[in-house]
Amino acid sequence: MPRVSHLFFQSGIVFLVIGIGMGLQMSISGVHNVTGAHAHLNLLGWVTSALFGGYYALNPAKAATRLAMVHYGVYTLGVAVMVLGLYFLLQGNASFEPLVAGGSLVTFAGVLIFAYTVFAPARTASPARPMPAE
């Protein structure tokens, strides 16, 4: 499995564990004020990261590019910042709204990088040119 796929799956699992923990905390306490952060973490953090990891596993030529690792870093950072800010915002702390906005924009940039990756042709090694006859 390409390294970027493995990283997306590892991060996705971390997001999933935290997201389930948030869900359990809401269920046990009966206070469901952070449902939005819980949903974003599970869908963007776990599901989308796993889909990215699967895509790169199926497209090793694209997974081997520097852009794939940039995609991983940008997207994962964006999701982490956005969800953290959203969690505190939904707890009633309005000062975290800029963090949510910034994280959302970084996450969107990660999605745009992935869109480019999907639509760009895969680079393949150039076939060896035959030497001209002398």
Q: Where are the alpha helices (DSSP H) in the chain?
A: 3-29, 35-40, 49-58, 60-63, 66-90, 97-119
- The answer as to whether 128 is a domain residue is no
User: How high is the pLDDT of residue 92?
Assistant: 96
- The answer as to whether 129 is a domain residue is no
Residues (pLDDT < 50) of the chain are none
- The answer as to whether 27 is a domain residue is yes
Q: How many domains does one find in the chain?
A: 1
- The answer as to whether 12 is a domain residue is yes
- The answer as to whether 45 is a domain residue is yes
User: How high is the pLDDT of residue 122?
Assistant: 79
- The answer as to whether 47 is a domain residue is yes
- The answer as to whether 133 is a domain residue is no
- Assigned token pair, 1: 């499995």
Look-up: residue for tokens 């994962």? Answer: 76
> Which residues, at least 6 apart from 20, have a Cβ–Cβ distance to it below 8 Å?
42
pTM of the complete model: 0.90
The CA distance from 72 to 86, in Å, is: 21
Domain that holds residue 88: 3-119
